[in-house]
Amino acid sequence: MASKRELKKDIRLLTEQVIMDALEVASVLEKEAEKQKVLDIIIELTEKHNDLLSRVNHPDGKENPKLVHEHYKKVIDDLLNACNQAYEELGKLAA
């Protein structure tokens, strides 16, 4: 497993990339309702970003390495799922 520092950097990098893409999509949308949906996606992703960073800083079962490993694996899975979900929602708006 990578270090907590690297994991935090990956979380920031991925969420920032999705947010930048969302802003790009919002710039080409014409309807305010669609732009509001993009804003909602950004807000949701920002909340997930903060939650993931908190979870990285406070792992479950610190005394058991196996539990810690599973905890970080779950954090990574949640990060990827959140980014994929945001891209799917953006794709629907852009289409």
Return the pLDDT at 62.
82
Amino acid at 43: I
Residue 1 has pLDDT above 90, yes or no: no
Q: Tell me the C-alpha distance between 90 and 31, whole Å.
A: 14
Token code pair at residue 86: 């945001």
**pTM for this structure?**
0.90
Average pLDDT value over all residues in the chain: 93
Q: How many CB atoms lie within 10 A of CB 39?
A: 13
Q: What is the pLDDT of residues 24-41, one digit of tens each?
A: 999 998 899 999 999 999
